């Protein structure tokens, strides 16, 4: 057997560089790294040696590195991915939030935090967390609940098992999510003789399991009897590259489609069977159809509470087409475990000759037309001195060039975008709303731009999220990856302030003036920056930014008290049973009535 002598760190990066994806492209597009004493000496030296085939990118915040890697994986439909490495201690724990984002959203990222000395010679090493009841614990154990696979590498030869296990999780459609390999500092530098074949090129292709014949027959039986069927399309449709099959299926069988946040853009906004966003942040058309549907076929969605209206929206029979059995059977659904594309092919063939009744098609078309008019009215320019988020969305939509990707994550903007943004098709709408992580937006935009540098990327972000994590503006400038960032300044956490008052609470601790000159701050990070005073100026500024050569930040003031009343659905937010405030008492009565109504429909 031929062998090669390498350190653990050298073996790790050589193995990553040998992994290939479809079309024989490198599976790992690079490694995000902030070096420290837990990874610079061994892993840093190893990455330097392979920088031509496995590039290293320097971020400004470890959490942001993770967000960029997550966005890259999402934008490439999980066909490619990135790794992130940090030192021991705060560098490692900074990445835990990003790991949670990846875990919730089922996206592949490889986290490589530095760890303690396996030999324990210098215990406690700088930044080491000591647990006097567990000598094996380190801060990296925080990654365990937010990793699909976790391993601590304390011996070089452990990589021979750990790396193939990691790859199987990262590339499996059902198990996909973050992997953490905690790298003991001294182990990174140790060398052994490795079998040469361990570093042979390996191609990973997404598995496409077909549906079980019995589950398929049961689903077909229910669908054939449906008078008012509906399809809920989630992100799994995109990851299975099944948007064409879904469009053909919906058209052939006259079944309307509604979209989750992760699924928005599967069908273009002008598709005749697309009713738009579903659920708490949904369109009136989609939610009316959901309430009237007697059979709901969910495809590639995990059915979180914003999609189901906290389990109060759907009244018909659920069929769960999902590659992950855990998701396929949620909420009492009839499971149809399969790859989304293969499942739709099987359903389409078995449903030959079936079309939903014309009365149903006529009803949903009328609802769709009504919503299109309503959405157009709230996104149109108005006469108010301070615009709403919806009006800003309308101005940005009218200004961007075809093919532009919009990126967002948290606050009130995701709800408004879900309802109102008219996505052109797959890949043009990028929202992180599984974890709704404040601070994802700018780093996420960077990851989207890395995935396709030729595309224009517009990041829409509120001042709360911006102030939480904005450092990757400097990274985008340094890397020459231009973003257009539209920064909506409503003076605090406007979305939560509205929710606070809607549940009877006094406005408190949310609209706290930040006192920051946001334009000057963005400029100090290297961006082209300007503040606009009107929607007309915003339109012009977006056009200038899309023609610019580097990242631009456009600051616009918005009204924190306004959100789009049209559309939407009830959301279960618990209201206190006891309060001295009459407003809370009234809100509690309304909440109790809503719970009772949901239980009656269940």
Digit-coded pLDDT (tens) for 40-87? 999 999 999 999 999 999 999 999 999 999 999 999 999 999 999 999
CATH superfamily of 213-370: TPP-binding domain (3.40.50.1220)
pLDDT at 372 over 90: yes
pLDDT at 241 over 80: yes
Q: Residues 117-144: what's their mean pLDDT?
A: 93
Any alpha helices (H) in 172-324, and if so which ranges?
A: 185-189, 213-224, 235-239, 243-253, 284-292, 305-308
* pLDDT band for position 250 (cuts 50, 70, 90): very high
- The span from the CA of 128 to the CA of 111, in Å, is 18
Q: CB–CB of 227/356 below 8 Å?
A: yes
What number of other Cβ atoms are within 10 A of residue 327's Cβ? 22
Query: Which two structure tokens, joined as six digits, stand for 489?
Result: 């300044």
Look up the CATH number of domain 380-557: 3.40.50.970
The pLDDT value given to residue 601:
74
* pLDDT band for position 599 (cuts 50, 70, 90): confident
Beta partners for residue 460, in sequence order: 486
The length of the chain in residues reads 602
pLDDT at 18 over 90: yes
Q: Residues 402-420: what's their mean pLDDT?
A: 97
Q: Which has the closest alpha carbon to 392: 368, 366, 417, 371?
A: 417
Beta partners for residue 527, in sequence order: none
* pLDDT band for position 602 (cuts 50, 70, 90): low
* Rounded percentage of the chain residues whose pLDDT exceeds 90: 96
* pLDDT band for position 383 (cuts 50, 70, 90): confident
What number of other Cβ atoms are within 10 A of residue 130's Cβ? 11
The pLDDT value given to residue 1:
83
Residue intervals in the chain for CATH 3.40.50.1220: 213-370
- The span from the CA of 283 to the CA of 82, in Å, is 35
Q: CB–CB of 159/131 below 8 Å?
A: no
Q: Which has the closest alpha carbon to 351: 451, 222, 471?
A: 222
The pLDDT value given to residue 544:
98
pLDDT at 24 over 90: no
* pLDDT band for position 532 (cuts 50, 70, 90): very high
Q: Residues 98-111: what's their mean pLDDT?
A: 98
pLDDT tens, 158-198? 999 999 999 999 999 999 999 999 999 999 999 999 999 99
Q: Residues 205-211: what's their mean pLDDT?
A: 95
Q: CB–CB of 426/265 below 8 Å?
A: yes
Pairing outcome for strands 3-7 and 191-195 = antiparallel
**Alpha-carbon torsion 571, 575, 581, 587, what sign?**
positive
Q: Name the average pLDDT for the chain.
A: 96
Query: Which two structure tokens, joined as six digits, stand for 377?
Result: 């009215």
Q: Which has the closest alpha carbon to 372: 566, 568, 535, 569?
A: 566
Q: Which has the closest alpha carbon to 106: 408, 414, 322?
A: 322
Q: Residues 200-219: what's their mean pLDDT?
A: 97
Q: Which has the closest alpha carbon to 8: 140, 192, 163?
A: 192
pLDDT tens, 483-513? 999 999 999 999 999 999 999 999 999 999 8
pLDDT at 318 over 80: yes
Residue intervals in the chain for CATH 3.40.50.970: 3-203, 380-557
- Report if pTM > 0.85: yes
Dihedral of the alpha carbons of 440, 443, 449, 450, in degrees to the nearest 10: -120
* pLDDT band for position 600 (cuts 50, 70, 90): confident
The pLDDT value given to residue 95:
98
Q: Which has the closest alpha carbon to 184: 154, 211, 208, 204?
A: 154
pLDDT at 26 over 80: yes
Q: Residues 200-208: what's their mean pLDDT?
A: 95
- Class of the CATH-defined domain 3-203: alpha beta
């Amino acid at each position: 057997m031929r062998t090669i002598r390498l350190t653990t760190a050298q073996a790790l990066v050589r193995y990553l560089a040998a992994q290939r994806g479809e079309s024989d492209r490198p599976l790992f597009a690079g490694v995000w790294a902030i070096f420290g004493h837990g990874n610079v000496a061994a892993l840093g030296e190893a990455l330097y040696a392979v920088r031509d085939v496995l590039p290293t990118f320097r971020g400004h915040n470890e959490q942001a590195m993770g967000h960029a890697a997550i966005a890259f994986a999402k934008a490439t439909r999980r066909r490619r991915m990135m790794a992130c490495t940090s030192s021991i201690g705060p560098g490692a724990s900074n990445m835990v939030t990003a790991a949670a984002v990846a875990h919730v959203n089922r996206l592949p990222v490889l986290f490589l935090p530095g760890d303690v000395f396996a030999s324990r010679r210098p215990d406690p090493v700088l930044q080491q967390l000591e647990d006097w009841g567990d000598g094996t614990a380190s801060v990296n154990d925080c990654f365990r609940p937010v990793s699909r696979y976790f391993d601590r590498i304390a011996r070089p030869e452990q990589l021979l098992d750990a790396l193939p296990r990691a790859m199987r999780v990262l590339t499996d459609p059902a198990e996909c999510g973050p992997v953490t390999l905690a790298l003991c500092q001294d182990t990174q530098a140790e060398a052994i003789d490795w079998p040469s074949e361990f570093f042979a090129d390996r191609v990973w292709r997404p598995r496409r399991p077909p549906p079980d014949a019995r589950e398929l027959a049961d689903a077909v039986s229910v669908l054939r009897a449906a008078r008012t069927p509906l399809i809920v399309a989630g992100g799994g449709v995109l990851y299975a590259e099944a948007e064409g099959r879904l469009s053909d299926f919906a058209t052939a069988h006259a079944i309307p489609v509604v979209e989750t946040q992760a699924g928005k853009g599967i069908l273009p906004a002008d598709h005749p069977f697309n009713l738009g966003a579903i659920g708490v942040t949904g369109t009136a058309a989609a939610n009316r159809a959901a309430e009237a549907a007697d059979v709901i076929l969910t495809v590639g969605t995990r059915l979180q509470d914003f999609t189901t209206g906290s389990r109060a929206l759907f009244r018909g029979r659920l069929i769960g087409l999902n590659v992950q059995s855990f998701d396929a059977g949620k909420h009492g659904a009839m499971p149809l475990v399969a790859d989304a594309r293969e499942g739709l092919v099987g359903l389409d063939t078995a449903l030959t000759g079936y079309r939903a009744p014309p009365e149903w098609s006529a009803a949903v078309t009328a609802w769709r037309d009504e919503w299109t008019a309503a959405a157009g009215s709230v996104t149109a320019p108005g006469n108010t001195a301070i615009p709403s988020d919806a009006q800003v969305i309308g101005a940005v939509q009218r200004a961007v060039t075809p093919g532009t990707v919009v990126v967002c994550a948290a606050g009130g903007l995701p709800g408004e975008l879900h309802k109102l943004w008219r996505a052109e098709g797959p890949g043009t709408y990028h929202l992180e709303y599984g974890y709704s992580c404040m601070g994802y937006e700018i780093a996420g935009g960077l990851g989207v731009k890395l995935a396709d540098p030729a595309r224009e990327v517009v990041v829409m972000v509120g001042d709360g999220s911006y102030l939480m994590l904005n450092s990757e503006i400097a990274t985008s400038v340094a890397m020459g990856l231009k973003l257009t960032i539209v920064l909506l300044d409503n003076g605090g956490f406007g979305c939560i302030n509205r929710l606070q008052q809607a549940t009877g609470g006094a406005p408190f601790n949310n609209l706290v003036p930040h006192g920051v000159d946001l334009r000057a701050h963005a400029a100090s990070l290297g961006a082209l920056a300007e503040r606009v005073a009107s929607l007309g100026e915003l339109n012009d500024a977006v056009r200038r930014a899309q023609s610019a050569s580097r990242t631009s930040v456009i600051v616009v003031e918005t009204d924190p008290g306004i959100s789009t009343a049209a559309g939407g659905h009830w959301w279960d937010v618990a209201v206190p049973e006891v309060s001295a405030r009459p407003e809370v008492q009234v809100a509690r009565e309304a909440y109790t009535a809503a719970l009772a109504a949901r239980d009656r429909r269940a």
